[in-house]
Structure 1
């Protein structure tokens, strides 16, 4: 029995004798099945290949980024958020080995893991078991869990304080249970928001965007984006980190609000006109 991992999205599934016919994450319209077909690997095969290495980097006091080189799956970054007595892993990456575990334990380990949405579930159970950590997933995304575990806590409602100064906010959008993390102690107590790609920083690091499907370029409705902006208006933060190590260093809250306004105006035909005359 093996816990197979989809090579396209990097999500691990429940153990089986043979690889599944399809990945339930990739076969849904927010993701995609590779043009070369569905392919699988295992964590054991990844480790034995000696191809991959996790890079753990200090971003600011109390915050480390964790990314795999070369990139695997979707290629997202996870973040280790350090509180006074509690460490939280925000989102997951697929690759985990003994070196990664040892290095993180030197930083105090992981007490809990929180996920923004299903595309980053990756090998979350492997991480939870390695650190004896609880996994927090919003109950609205329960159906997308591909490897069940008694480590998983399906939380409900709009907000959850996982630990002092670390608050999860369900804001919807990309998925119904899409969640962001408010870290009140970050950026010298001015507040940091970690968003996965529920809110995605764009190329110039001055604006953000919101999508139903990034892979297939399907936008969100204007009303949904307005709802996200309204929820984030209630959260205090000055810096924002997304899933691909893009950072808005300053005035992030204001930039999110302006970006939402621009997005809605674009959908409503107010921001620009490009139709043929």
Structure 2
């Protein structure tokens, strides 16, 4: 693949999501970059959205107490014309479906905020698009910290992208970040006050599209790593985490049973 070829030429590698469509290729790219002494960056720009940065701080400060549940909705639309524009779209070999392509940032968000996943159970379906992969799916996740999670994903929302959200329910706090792409704090309530609470009125933003504004900060980190020796925010091993969860979701949907992580 191109990333491995670049690494073998001594070039640093920036990979969009997903970094690969299977773990074998992801591991090969990580190994190639390690062996050739180059950096591997996997684009996860949603982590840098102002709303999610605020939520991450609340989680890291322990403001929720024990977290009971996290719920993610990705209710977007991709018409048949979108898939028809390129032969690789909606294929297992080159693209993946709604989870691996459109919702992969949201899987990454769940793991980043909630920690490692212990097991998943999922259903997927191809309901309306003429593609190999799924256009709709649901997944239940059990995290190693004991919390439960769920994801509801579809590319069939009428007539346009409607919601990209996360809700976290904890012992001492409840937060929902919604909007079209986790760009709006819809509920923010904690048992104890923190100065971050004053920021929620100014953190919302109106994105021009579902990609938000996180790319600027992401590429600034790339420059800081290459020019100043800083560490990548999301390297190959970070990018691999969400890929493994998505592949476990697909395995569960195929086999009709709960799948433990890590995958064999």
Q: TM-score, normalised by structure 2?
A: 0.29
The structure whose residues are more often helix, as a share, is: 2
Q: TM-score, normalised by structure 1?
A: 0.28
Q: Which has the higher contact order (CA 8 A, sep 6+)?
A: 2
